[in-house]
Amino acid sequence: MGKSDKKRIVLKIGSNVLTTGTNHISRGKIEDIARQIVDLQDSYEFVIVSSGAIAVAKQFVNLESNGKEINVKQALASIGQPHLMRIFLEGFRDLGLLTSQCLLSYSDFEREQSKKNIVNTINVLIHNNYIPIINENDTVATDEIKFGDNDKLAALTSVLLKADILIIATNTDGICTKESVENNTFTTIKEVEDIETLEKEIVSSISSHGTGGMTSKVESAKIAKKGNIETWIVNGLKDNFIINALSNKTAFTKIIKEQVIK
């Protein structure tokens, strides 16, 4: 069982989008995402890569550390993950959408058998109208916490699942030119084919909840591009951000595939 005729979107949602910049996961934002999926489901199928497990746990637990900070983060992820899934489950179910959890590790992408299993399982889920919600298996892996807010995981997933578009939802209108950031005018780079030109425009900043800045998003776009997938970096804090990006009604950065000259 392969892909359907629908276009496949891998949607990566960062902690900053899920919390809408606060210290709590926003049920309103989850509902906004679910509503858009409902509106788009005749033409698109979705796989979600979601951060936010650590952010959820921080809402109601303060762990004592008896070792490394990374272990505390892993423990927080372990506590927060079921709550994160419950928030998705409830928010999506209210709009008639079914969800499923997939916890992956980077090592899964290095073994052929694991890769086949991931593809087959996710295709079965999608075929049966379940939306896979992927997060890194943080209790056994530290890469996500080190690397950056699941951006790389989303890119690897989009290549593996032969997605049509990787949408990375973040808290800015895509990537702005360096000059516009420095003089506070924030001009979005709307379309780019050569990623190296984009790298020159990046101003390094790390988000407050997430661990990924724009650098990890550009690194992810590189992975996706190698797999011939277009990456869109979109402002997920805005309502209707997926639909508005698809209909070009909002400013965002599109990292396009190589143009084939016929």
Q: What is the pLDDT of residues 237-249, one digit of tens each?
A: 999 999 999 999 9
3-state secondary structure of 7: strand
CB neighbour list of residue 178: distance below 8 Å, 6 or more residues apart: 200, 201, 202, 203
Is the predicted pLDDT of residue 206 greater than 80, yes or no?
A: no
Average the pLDDT over each of 19-33, 59-73, 198-212, 222-236 and give the range with the smallest value. 198-212
CB 50 within 8 A of CB 132: no
> Which residues, in sequence order, are CB contacts of 68 under 8 Å at separation 6+?
none
Residues 202, 178: Cα–Cα separation, whole Å: 6
- 164 exposure class (CB count in 10 Å sphere: 0-12, 13-18, 19+): middle
- pTM for the complete prediction? 0.91
SS3 44: strand
Angle, CA of 190, 133 and 127, to the nearest 5° = 100
Distance CA 246, CA 237 (A): 16
Tell me the average pLDDT of the chain: 88
Query: Would you state the pLDDT for residue 3?
Result: 62
Position 62 scores a pLDDT of 85
pLDDT at 260 over 60: no
How far is CA 169 from its chain centroid? 6
164 secondary structure, DSSP code: S
Length of the chain in residues, anyone? 262
Q: Can you list the domains of the chain with their CATH numbers?
A: 7-255 (3.40.1160.10)
Poorest-confidence range of 36-40, 148-152, 170-174? Answer: 148-152
Distances 193 to 6, 76, 108, 176, 222 between C-alpha atoms, Å: 25, 39, 29, 15, 11
CA 41 to chain centre: 18
- Model confidence pLDDT, tens digit, residues 114-163: 999 999 999 999 999 999 999 988 666 665 555 456 899 999 999 999 99
